[in-house]
Structure 1
Amino acid sequence: MGEAINPLKAWLERDGGLLRLRLARPKANIVDAAMIGALQQALGAHLGSPALRAVLLDAEGPHFSFGASVDEHMPEQCAQMLKTLHALVRQMLDSPVPILVAIRGQCLGGGLEVAAAGNLLFVAPDARLGQPEIRLGVFAPAASCLLPPRVGQSRAEELLFSGRSIDGAEAFRIGLADVLADDPEAAALKWYDEHLAALSASSLRFAVRAARCDRVPAIKQKLETVEAMYLEELMASHDAVEGLRAFLEKRSANWENR
């Protein structure tokens, strides 16, 4: 299927107009350092192509992604993990062409953060989307920045504070999903063919910049703030480290509320 970058498959189609990126480590498709690096490399290699009109990100297997690596969230690794994940998010936010994301199955944690950094989300009705980080005693920095502009402040807070997952149908109702489809990949390809394929790639890039010129800088500024909060304050707390350790040790957390 063209160029393979482990753990990501990347190839061009539609006469070079569409970059296909596929998370290729099912069933979990964990967003770890290797996956983040592969995504950054593929985007960096292709986003500058003058013929490119869009990116389509999807995943092999029944699930989009179970999220980030919990091991990499531990204090000794979390700074590097968070900085590289947020660099990927910024790279996606700065994409000169629309990023379409096709989601089926579980799309959780860091997986949803990566998806939400795209432009249009095509989601299966029975998909499950959520930010469960709070249940591990931490919070989702990128999602704290990406969800409010998508679904509104109160709905974003409800998802971030509860850690609950919602199905694709609810995601569509609240505006997190843009298109609801039994086959999200096919729906995204159809949308590209009907709406983008015949456009000037150059003019499309101006349209993307114009639509996002105020929103993207605000998200990036907030991301810098919450990243510092996570690393300098949250990870210095007892309960954040306890929650992560409890998850890895498959036991209940002993919260001390500090």
Structure 2
Amino acid sequence: MVADTLALDGTLLRLKLNRPKANIVDAEMIGALDGALAAQQDNRDLVAVLVEAEGPHFSFGASVEEHLPESCEQMLKSLHGLVRRMLEYPVPVLVAVRGQCLGGGLEVAMAGHMIFAAPDANLGQPEMLLGVFAPAASCLLPGRVGQARAEDLLYSGRSVSGADAAEMGLVDAVDPSPEAAAVTYVETHLKPKSASSLRMAVRAARAGYCRQVIARLDEVEALYLDELMSTRDAVEGLDAFLAKRTAKWENR
């Protein structure tokens, strides 16, 4: 599910998503990631985390089955708990993206501090195509790409390449080998630093940003659970996706 190893003399925690097919972000994956991060959070020698993936794709997104009304509250709260942990993690969290990085997978990636992507990676928030919206992405995307571009991606559900994502600020670096580029960044720029001072720098740089995003996350979570999931079209879109048919919208 999630393989964890310490690299670079114990200073880099590498977490590899490994769930065929396509590393779906379901309750089990969320729990495994959150647990692996929690286990090393107080490791005083750690200077960075790298979240990467086995196989050609980072993640096709969250489990659609777990988005249905009977299970979505537990799923959403656990996913947002992972997002909060990543946002507030005491050392930089780097993410390496290949292939598809969609929906909940992109939300996890954006909760990290830096994203390294292959130029032909495919990143997007397709939730609106299913009649729902992306709660965490609604809070995270504007800070990365600006309000107007965030709204475009959130409303249209379209995806962009790694190269285009870099141009708009969605990813921080593009490299044919994003994992190697991320490791090189850690080795060059973070490993030589004092780990304790780096933790202070992370707190200083991210405190205001984290407070703002987390406050918004609570708001959009309530909007999703209390209002969106009481609409007919939200359930229809999810049911249609699972049944592999075209959704029939009634605009209610």
TM-score, normalised on structure 2? 0.99
1:12 aligned onto 2:17: no
Deviations 1:2-32 (A, max 9, x none): xxxxx11011111211000000113310000
Q: Counterparts of 2:184 and 2:21 in 1: how far apart (Å)?
A: 26
Structure 2 gaps of 5+ residues are: none
Residue type of the alignment partner of 2:72: C
Percent same amino acid among aligned pairs?
A: 65
Q: Which of 230, 240, 246 in structure 2 is aligned with 1:236?
A: 230
Q: Counterparts of 1:213 and 1:64 in 2: how far apart (Å)?
A: 28
Q: Counterparts of 1:179 and 1:161 in 2: how far apart (Å)?
A: 25
Q: Counterparts of 1:148 and 1:202 in 2: how far apart (Å)?
A: 30
Q: Counterparts of 1:227 and 1:67 in 2: how far apart (Å)?
A: 18
1:118 aligned onto 2:124: no
Number of the residue aligned with 2:64: 70
Q: Which of 193, 210, 213 in structure 1 is aligned with 2:187?
A: 193
Q: How large is the RMSD of aligned CA atoms in angstroms?
A: 0.5
3-state secondary structure, aligned to 1:107: strand
Report how many aligned residue pairs link the two structures.
252
3-state secondary structure, aligned to 2:70: helix
TM-score, normalised on structure 1? 0.97
Q: Which of 136, 140, 144 in structure 2 is aligned with 1:150?
A: 144
Number of the residue aligned with 1:138: 132
| Contact 1:21/1:56, CA 8 A, preserved across alignment | yes
Q: Counterparts of 1:136 and 1:205 in 2: how far apart (Å)?
A: 40
Number of the residue aligned with 1:99: 93
Divergent runs of 4+, >4 A: none
Number of the residue aligned with 2:123: 129
Structure 1 gaps of 5+ residues are: 1-6
| Contact 1:29/1:66, CA 8 A, preserved across alignment | yes
Q: Which of 227, 238, 257 in structure 1 is aligned with 2:251?
A: 257
| Contact 1:64/1:105, CA 8 A, preserved across alignment | yes
